[in-house]
Structure 1
Amino acid sequence: MTDEEDGEVPDMGAAENAELIRRGYEAFNAGDLAALGELFAEDAVWYAPGSGVLSGTKQGRDAIFAYFGELGARSQGTFQATVQDIVGGENHTVGIHQSHAESNGKTLDLATAIAFVLRDGKVIEGREYFDDTAKADEFWA
């Protein structure tokens, strides 16, 4: 009996995980919350580094999407995550991108990585890492 026959969803492999994260970046940059919603588990957790106004733990898909909305609102819709590479793994997949936004005469341009944990084809955790967390905190203030 295969996993599908007994009702279990088979674990996704590294290539499938990388493709899921690539679709997530595309949906995020396009502001496509419907597509993004399909990729996140309802009880997912997101960790935003630093000590700024947007830093901290976001519990649940709704809180994560509210955070994503703040990124857009506070940058007047200019925030983009330009993918440089996605490294897929069985349990963790890492997205490496350049974060870019402009707001009130300030520019954010930081190397960023997000470590994603995936289960059953959904993101259950995202943990951001910035090249310079203090610069990110200052920009979002």
Structure 2
Amino acid sequence: MGAQEDTALVRRGYEAFTAGDMDTLRELFTEDAVWHIGGTGPLSGDKKGRDAILAYFGELYSRSNGTLKVTLDDVASGDKYTIGVQSGHAERDGKSLDQRIVIVFTIAGGKVTEVLEAPDDTAKASDFWA
């Protein structure tokens, strides 16, 4: 697959995430995919395997009481990585979180194999999700 296909795959993933379409998301990840989350909060660390990644997505919605909204601001693909820049908003326990996050996708054979999630302020994100 080339850059154009990888970009389309990431866009499809964001559309599925926004729609809560877990079946489509499940198709986009390899079974052994890994999602790395920076910071020191309760959601930080590595999510190993497609099921753990989908459970992480569910945890985000659960902790935000369904208020999490993610917008893909831009996506670009190179030879090795596809980069998504997103804006996110969530509310929880009387607090709100508005952040930009860079997501670095590694794609092979038409599926996501690895992801690095890097919020613009890991301390703020950790505090919010705690």
Q: Helix, strand or coil for the counterpart of 2:78?
A: coil
Calculate the aligned-residue CA RMSD, in Å.
0.7
In the TM superposition, 1:1-141 aligns within 5 A as 12-141=1-130
**AA of the residue aligned to 1:77:** G
**In 1: Cα distance, 2:64 partner to 2:2 partner:** 35
Deviation, structure 1 residue 29: 1.1
Deviation, structure 1 residue 112: 0.4
Q: Which has the larger radius of gyration?
A: 1
The count of residues paired between Structure 1 and Structure 2 equals: 130
Deviation, structure 1 residue 89: 2.0
**In 1: Cα distance, 2:50 partner to 2:42 partner:** 19
Q: Give me the identity figure in percent.
A: 56
Q: TM-score, normalised by structure 2?
A: 0.97
Q: TM-score, normalised by structure 1?
A: 0.90
**In 1: Cα distance, 2:35 partner to 2:119 partner:** 14
**In 1: Cα distance, 2:24 partner to 2:110 partner:** 13
**AA of the residue aligned to 1:70:** E
**In 1: Cα distance, 2:27 partner to 2:118 partner:** 24
Unaligned runs of at least 5 residues, structure 2: none
Unaligned runs of at least 5 residues, structure 1: 1-11
Report runs of 4+ in structure 1 exceeding 6 Å deviation: none
Q: Helix, strand or coil for the counterpart of 2:39?
A: coil
Whether the aligned pair in 2 keeps the contact of 1:94 and 1:114 (CA below 8 Å) is yes
**In 2: Cα distance, 1:88 partner to 1:26 partner:** 18
- Render the CA deviation track for 1:43-85: whole Å, top value 9, x for unaligned: 0000011000000001100011111110000000111211110
